[in-house]
Structure 1
C-alpha cells in the first residue's frame, strides 16, 4: 500500500543517494584509495544510504555519517570547520559525538539549496573529501545534462 498523502522531507531520493554513494565508492577505487565507507544523509541528518567497501574498518561507517552530519550542522564542508578544541568538544557533547571537523563531509546542493550531505571515511581525510566532492559534482553535472534533454 502506497501512502501518497504522507509528506516527505524535501531533498534527495533514495535513487539520488544510491547514485552518490556508488559514485563516491567508484572514485575511491579509481584513485586507489583504501576501502571507504560512504554515507548520504537527508536534511535532518538521518542516513539514507550507508555502504562500506569490502575490507573497510567497521568504525569508518559511523565516521562517514558523522562527517556528513558535521557538514549539515556547519553549513559547509566538515574540513572547513575551524574552531578551538574546547568549542569542538562542547559541540561533540551536544551532538553525541556526531561532530567531526575533519575533511570528508560535504553538502549536497542544487541551486544553492541544501538537499543533504555526503560523508566518507577510510582513507586520508583529504581523499575522503575528494571522493564525496567528486561524486557530488558528477551528480550535479548529470542532473544538469538530464535537464537539458
Structure 2
C-alpha cells in the first residue's frame, strides 16, 4: 500500500502552537476574546479556536481573513480595492474574502506554508496577535532545528 501524499507546509502541531500563541498574545495585551484560525496552503482549516466569551461570528471572520491572505498572497489589511471589486470577490468566494487587517501569510524561506487569521479585537490588534505568534513560532523553530 502506498503512502498517502501530504500537502507541504504546516503540521497540526505547528497550527496548534500558532493558535495557542496568538490567543495568549491577545490575553497578554488585554484584547477582547479572539478567534484564531490557521489554514493550510489549500485554504482548509487546520485549527480554529475561539476564546471564552468571544462572539460566534469572529470564528468565521478569522477564517475569512486567513483565506483572503492566501487568495492575494499579502496581509488581508493591505488590500486597497474599490467596494465593487471587493463585493465581486466576496461573491466568487462565498463571503470568505475580508479585506481588513487580521490575516497574514505564514512563510518560510519565501515559501507559503499556510495562513493565520484572527478576529474579535480591533483589526490591527487581530493582526498584531497573529503576527507576534508567527514571529515567536519562527524563533521557536530556529531553536529546535
Q: 3-state SS of the aligned residue for 1:116?
A: strand
CA-to-aligned-CA distance 1:37-61 (integer Å, 9 cap, x gap) = 0000000001000000000000000
Deviation at 1:4, TM superposition (A): 6.7
1:9 aligns with 2:28: no
Instruction: Structure 2: give runs of 5+ residues left out of the alignment.
Output: none
Residue of structure 2 equivalent to 1:93: 91
Residue of structure 2 equivalent to 1:106: 104
Q: 3-state SS of the aligned residue for 1:12?
A: coil
Deviation at 1:141, TM superposition (A): 1.1
Query: CA, structure 1 residues 141+57, in 2 after alignment: closer, same or farther (shift >3 Å)?
Result: same
User: Scaled by the length of structure 2, what TM-score is found?
Assistant: 0.98
CA-to-aligned-CA distance 1:15-57 (integer Å, 9 cap, x gap) = 0000000000000000000000000000000100000000000
The aligned length equals: 145
Alignment partners' CA distance in 1, 2:35 and 2:115:
14
Question: What RMSD over aligned residues (CA atoms) do the two structures have, in Å?
Answer: 1.0
State the 4+ residue runs in structure 1 displaced beyond 2 angstroms.
none
Instruction: Structure 1: give runs of 5+ residues left out of the alignment.
Output: none
User: Scaled by the length of structure 1, what TM-score is found?
Assistant: 0.95
Deviation at 1:99, TM superposition (A): 0.3
